[in-house]
Protein backbone atom coordinates (compact mmCIF):
# COMPACT_ATOMS: atom_id res chain seq x y z
CA UNK A 1 0.00 0.00 0.00
CA UNK A 2 1.17 3.52 -0.80
CA UNK A 3 2.57 5.59 2.05
CA UNK A 4 3.12 8.99 0.46
CA UNK A 5 0.29 11.43 -0.23
CA UNK A 6 1.33 11.86 -3.85
CA UNK A 7 1.46 8.11 -4.42
CA UNK A 8 -2.02 7.69 -2.96
CA UNK A 9 -3.31 10.43 -5.23
CA UNK A 10 -1.61 8.83 -8.23
CA UNK A 11 -3.30 5.52 -7.38
CA UNK A 12 -6.70 7.21 -7.25
CA UNK A 13 -6.07 8.98 -10.56
CA UNK A 14 -4.90 5.77 -12.23
CA UNK A 15 -8.04 3.97 -11.07
CA UNK A 16 -10.24 6.75 -12.43
CA UNK A 17 -8.41 6.74 -15.78
CA UNK A 18 -8.66 2.95 -15.97
CA UNK A 19 -12.40 3.05 -15.39
CA UNK A 20 -12.86 5.81 -17.95
CA UNK A 21 -10.75 3.98 -20.55
CA UNK A 22 -12.70 0.76 -19.97
CA UNK A 23 -15.96 2.65 -20.54
CA UNK A 24 -14.75 4.25 -23.78
CA UNK A 25 -13.32 0.94 -25.01
CA UNK A 26 -16.49 -1.02 -24.26
CA UNK A 27 -18.71 1.64 -25.85
CA UNK A 28 -16.59 1.58 -28.99
CA UNK A 29 -16.58 -2.23 -29.14
CA UNK A 30 -20.37 -2.19 -28.91
CA UNK A 31 -20.56 0.38 -31.72
CA UNK A 32 -18.28 -1.79 -33.88
CA UNK A 33 -20.44 -4.85 -33.17
CA UNK A 34 -23.59 -2.90 -34.10
CA UNK A 35 -21.97 -1.65 -37.31
CA UNK A 36 -21.06 -5.21 -38.32
CA UNK A 37 -24.64 -6.33 -37.69
CA UNK A 38 -26.22 -3.85 -40.14
CA UNK A 39 -25.92 -3.85 -43.90
CA UNK A 40 -26.59 -1.61 -46.85
CA UNK A 41 -26.73 2.17 -46.62
CA UNK A 42 -27.07 2.08 -42.82
CA UNK A 43 -23.56 0.62 -42.48
CA UNK A 44 -22.12 3.39 -44.65
CA UNK A 45 -23.93 6.03 -42.62
CA UNK A 46 -22.67 4.70 -39.27
CA UNK A 47 -19.05 4.29 -40.42
CA UNK A 48 -17.83 7.90 -39.84
CA UNK A 49 -19.25 7.93 -36.31
CA UNK A 50 -17.58 4.64 -35.37
CA UNK A 51 -14.32 5.65 -37.06
CA UNK A 52 -14.32 8.82 -34.98
CA UNK A 53 -14.76 6.78 -31.80
CA UNK A 54 -11.84 4.56 -32.80
CA UNK A 55 -9.66 7.61 -33.52
CA UNK A 56 -10.45 9.04 -30.09
CA UNK A 57 -9.38 5.77 -28.44
CA UNK A 58 -6.07 5.91 -30.28
CA UNK A 59 -5.60 9.57 -29.38
CA UNK A 60 -6.21 8.83 -25.70
CA UNK A 61 -3.78 5.92 -25.82
CA UNK A 62 -6.38 3.27 -25.04
CA UNK A 63 -5.47 1.40 -28.23
CA UNK A 64 -2.44 1.65 -30.51
CA UNK A 65 -2.71 3.84 -33.60
CA UNK A 66 -2.00 0.89 -35.89
CA UNK A 67 -4.78 -1.12 -34.28
CA UNK A 68 -7.09 1.83 -34.88
CA UNK A 69 -6.06 1.93 -38.53
CA UNK A 70 -6.62 -1.81 -38.91
CA UNK A 71 -10.06 -1.63 -37.30
CA UNK A 72 -11.13 1.29 -39.51
CA UNK A 73 -9.87 -0.50 -42.61
CA UNK A 74 -11.82 -3.67 -41.81
CA UNK A 75 -14.97 -1.69 -41.07
CA UNK A 76 -14.63 0.28 -44.31
CA UNK A 77 -14.32 -2.98 -46.24
CA UNK A 78 -17.40 -4.32 -44.48
CA UNK A 79 -19.42 -1.18 -45.20
CA UNK A 80 -18.39 -1.21 -48.87
CA UNK A 81 -19.24 -4.88 -49.25
CA UNK A 82 -22.56 -4.41 -47.45
CA UNK A 83 -23.56 -1.60 -49.76
CA UNK A 84 -22.78 -3.56 -52.93
CA–CA distance, 50 with 55 (Å, rounded to integer): 9
SS3 label, residue 60 = helix
Domain of 23? 5-83
Total domain count, the chain: 1
Query: Does the structure show a pLDDT above 90 at 82?
Result: no
Q: For the segment 44-81, what is each residue's pLDDT rounded down to a tens digit? A: 999 999 999 999 999 999 999 999 999 999 999 999 99
Neighbouring C-alpha atoms within 13 Å toward the C-beta of 65: 1
Question: What's the pTM?
Answer: 0.85
Q: Which residue has the higher pLDDT, 34 or 2?
A: 34
Q: What is the CATH number of the domain that holds 28?
A: 1.20.58.110
- Backbone angles phi and psi of 69, in degrees to 5: -65, -40
Percent of the chain exceeding pLDDT 70 equals 99
Cα separation, 69 vs 46, in Å, equals 17
d(Cα 44, Cα 29) in Å, to the nearest integer? Answer: 17
Q: Is the pLDDT of residue 39 over 90?
A: no
Amino acid sequence: MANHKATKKDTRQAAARNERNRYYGKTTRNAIRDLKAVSGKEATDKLPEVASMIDKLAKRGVIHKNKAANLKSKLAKHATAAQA
